[in-house]
Amino acid sequence: MNFYKKVSFLLLIFLVLVNVKGNEGIAANGEVTLKEAIDIGFQRAKEWNVNATLTGANSVDETMGGSRGETGKRFKWFVTFMVPDTEDHLIIGISEMKITVFEPIKQSPNPTIPHGEIKLDSTDALQIAKDKYKLKQGKDWATGYHFTLDSIEGEPILTVVGNDRDNRFTRISINAKNGDVVSAIHKVPYGGGLLSIRNGSEHISKKGMAITGVVAGNNKLVVWGDKKPTQFSTTKKPFIEMSDGNGETWKVLEAGGYVTHAWFDRNDRLYAATEKELWTDITSKNKGSKILSLDQAIEHVDYSSNNHIAVLSNETIYYTKNQGESWKEALVPKPFYVIQISDNGDLIGLTEERKILQKKKDGWSEIPLPDLNEAPYDMKVIHNRLYITTKSGIWSRNLKEETWSEIPADEMVVKFIKKGEKLFGYGQGDAIYSIDTNDERKPKKVFDAVDRIVYDIDFMGDTLWVATVPNYSWEEMTVPNE
């Protein structure tokens, strides 16, 4: 296994162990360095087996205060050992200098790390990473500085995890015997932006941004997302903007927070949902009016073609049939993955168990699926018609009837994208299809999303607008200039 593959594999193990334990109090003097954590673990490991040998160690994310690695110390660590030439391994978890996890396991032998070869501690490695690469504390994920020790190609490698000066996820790996930097890599974004496709010609704007939504109105286009995304956050510099034409010029809109959903009604009024609020009548000159404010986060939003609105939050559906003048509530009988509302005001939910439920006067009733013994991947309601996608294809039925109709498709569709009366499908092979909801002909491929991460899509006239976000790949770092 080459060095970079080994690093990626060990990073995956590090991810699995992050946040394993909950908070256990705040005590700054309970933070320890890597070598101190190893020593604590070694004492208990030798009691388990006198031949126990170190195989690795890593710090663990927490929200306990303290320095968060700024001093080379953390509250929580995992240290791993094994008995050489056996499958006997031991995982020891340490929190505030105390052993809180003791778990013997069986697995294939791993390379061991002789204790005497560890000349550098986490404090030393951190200073090297700061001095040479200006490493900063991590944010959003793996907060602060983190440290891992592994045997890579027979050498003890101590890695410091943080952010570079552009807030990119970064790993500086140092030989713990001699202090030599053996690897300096960071996650570099590529792609992202707003793509327009017309007559086979593609144009990209807002390059590098995380465009998480796009919606077309009557000669109006609205996009939203983050201008300065990181790998673990698209809420750093949120924005929502409107174009009155073909996307060449944009006006900044205000929506009271980070936008998660937006749409136009038939009168070209713009609606937007933020984390806990719903707004309407948003223009470049007017922030709009708040029509719903909740205590808990909005998990899902749907609207019908005649602008009935349904909002899912904290196991409750809030719905309106008069554009937000008054709201009703419906308790969710089971956790819902998707909610929908029809032109008639019917509430439909797809449960996390992939059952479809419809709200009736006397409660929720299950809608029988086509006799396929297949669970739906996704579902949408347009007008008063229900659409589902399964392993065998796309199916639809009138909500007032029981007969399903099959819509032929070239490949399996795994996700729907609904835009008012328009329906798109995301194929298993990364193609995006337009699904005709009038005559239900075979879906037409409109975009191939290979090598792009597509979040949203809409048509305006003969132009297809595609919202994409950046992807990230490991690249070697250069030593930054002073």
pLDDT tens across 303-338, in order?
999 999 999 999 999 999 999 999 999 999 999 999
**Cβ partners under 8 Å of residue 219, min gap 6:** 244, 245, 460
- 152 with 246, same domain: the answer is no
Question: Which amino acid is residue 258, in one-letter code?
Answer: Y
b/e per residue 378-404 (b: at least 16 CB within 10 A): bbbbbebbbbbbbeebbbbbebeeeeb
- 454 with 339, same domain: the answer is yes
With respect to residue 395, please indicate whether it lies within any of the assigned structural domains.
Answer: yes
Is there a contact between 471 and 189 (Cβ–Cβ < 8 Å)? yes
Q: What is the pLDDT of residue 9?
A: 41
Q: Which domain holds residue 100?
A: 3-179
Scanning 3-92, the segments in alpha helix (DSSP H) are: 3-17, 34-48
With respect to residue 479, please indicate whether it lies within any of the assigned structural domains.
Answer: no
161, 179, 197 — which closes off a domain? 179
CA angle 21, 25, 28 (to 5 degrees): 110
pLDDT band, residue 1 (cuts 50/70/90) = very low
Lowest model confidence (mean pLDDT) among 109-123, 202-216, 364-378: 364-378
Residue corresponding to tokens 């073909």: 246
- 173 with 195, same domain: the answer is no
- 49 with 141, same domain: the answer is yes
In angstroms, the CA 26 to CA 344 distance is 54
Q: What is the pLDDT of residue 2?
A: 45
Mean of pLDDT values over 232-251? 88
If one counts the domains in the chain, the total is 2
Q: What is the pLDDT of residue 235?
A: 85
With respect to residue 59, please indicate whether it lies within any of the assigned structural domains.
Answer: yes
- 331 with 451, same domain: the answer is yes
pLDDT band, residue 254 (cuts 50/70/90) = confident
- 347 with 370, same domain: the answer is yes
156, 179, 202 — which closes off a domain? 179
- 303 with 230, same domain: the answer is yes
- 124 with 250, same domain: the answer is no
115, 150, 179 — which closes off a domain? 179
Mean of pLDDT values over 387-394? 93
With respect to residue 428, please indicate whether it lies within any of the assigned structural domains.
Answer: yes
With respect to residue 209, please indicate whether it lies within any of the assigned structural domains.
Answer: yes
With respect to residue 305, please indicate whether it lies within any of the assigned structural domains.
Answer: yes
pLDDT band, residue 480 (cuts 50/70/90) = low
Strand order in the sheet with 277-280: 261-264, 270-273, 277-280, 289-293
Is a pLDDT exceeding 80 seen at residue 87? yes
Q: What percentage of the chain reaches a pLDDT higher than 90?
A: 77
With respect to residue 184, please indicate whether it lies within any of the assigned structural domains.
Answer: no
Mean of pLDDT values over 110-132? 95
pLDDT tens string 272-304: 999 999 999 998 888 899 999 999 999 999 999
In angstroms, the CA 464 to CA 50 distance is 67
pLDDT tens string 180-228: 999 999 999 999 999 999 988 999 999 999 999 999 998 899 999 999 8
pLDDT tens string 90-102: 999 999 999 999 9
pLDDT tens string 25-63: 333 479 999 999 999 999 999 999 999 999 999 999 888
State the CATH number of the domain containing residue 352.
Answer: 2.130.10.10
- 139 with 232, same domain: the answer is no
pLDDT band, residue 71 (cuts 50/70/90) = very high
Q: What is the pLDDT of residue 8?
A: 43
**Cβ partners under 8 Å of residue 241, min gap 6:** 222, 223, 224, 250, 251, 252, 253
Is a pLDDT exceeding 90 seen at residue 4? no
What count of residues does the chain have?
482
Q: What is the pLDDT of residue 286?
A: 86
With respect to residue 138, please indicate whether it lies within any of the assigned structural domains.
Answer: yes
Q: What is the pLDDT of residue 145?
A: 97
Strands of 299-411, DSSP E: 300-303, 309-313, 316-320, 328-331, 336-341, 347-351, 356-360, 363-366, 378-382, 385-390, 393-398, 405-407
- 226 with 129, same domain: the answer is no
- 420 with 462, same domain: the answer is yes
- 237 with 131, same domain: the answer is no
pLDDT band, residue 430 (cuts 50/70/90) = confident
